[in-house]
Amino acid sequence: MSKTLLIIEDNEQNFYMMRFLLENKGFKVVGAENGRLGVELALEHVPDAILLDIQLPEMDGYAVAAELKKHAKLDKVPIIAVTSYAMVGDREQILAAGANGYIEKPINPDTFVEEIAQFVARD
């Protein structure tokens, strides 16, 4: 059974690259182009992990992470920030908002899937 990942990313090229890499390794990918839709899809699909950009329209990644953490049915779903926010304190700020992991953009295509797989529970 393949694992489902929700990617909340407003940049089409970034979304395409992540989806391409993950689907080629057998993951099912659901996508949202803004934070509000991302929360809705997370509640609808209850994915195995959520890949979350920080700079999003409607709700930024900090607000999305905090909102996701309010829902008991998403308690066990890891949130991995995938972001270009790489200034001092950015990592700590998103982890404090509820993310379980942090990957800097641009992503490394050679290691990205392994980095994500660390957060996805095995059957």
Residue 9: closest CA among 47, 37, 49, 46: 37
Specify the higher pLDDT residue, 94 or 49: 49
For range 65-73, the mean pLDDT: 96
pLDDT score, position 91: 83
For range 37-55, the mean pLDDT: 97
Which residue ranges form the domains of the chain, and what is each CATH number?
Answer: 11-86+102-108 (3.40.50.2300)
Partners of 102 in the β-ladder: 81
pLDDT score, position 13: 97
- Whether 53 has a pLDDT exceeding 60, the answer reads yes
pLDDT score, position 84: 86
For range 71-77, the mean pLDDT: 96
For range 30-51, the mean pLDDT: 98
State how far the Cα of 79 lies from the Cα of 74, in Å rounded to an integer.
10
Cis check: omega of the bond before 106, within 30 degrees of 0: yes
Q: pLDDT by residue (tens digit) across 93-107?
A: 889 999 999 999 999
Specify the higher pLDDT residue, 90 or 110: 110
Tell me if residue 112 falls in helix, strand or coil.
Answer: helix
Report residue 14's pLDDT band, with 50, 70 and 90 as the boundaries. Answer: very high
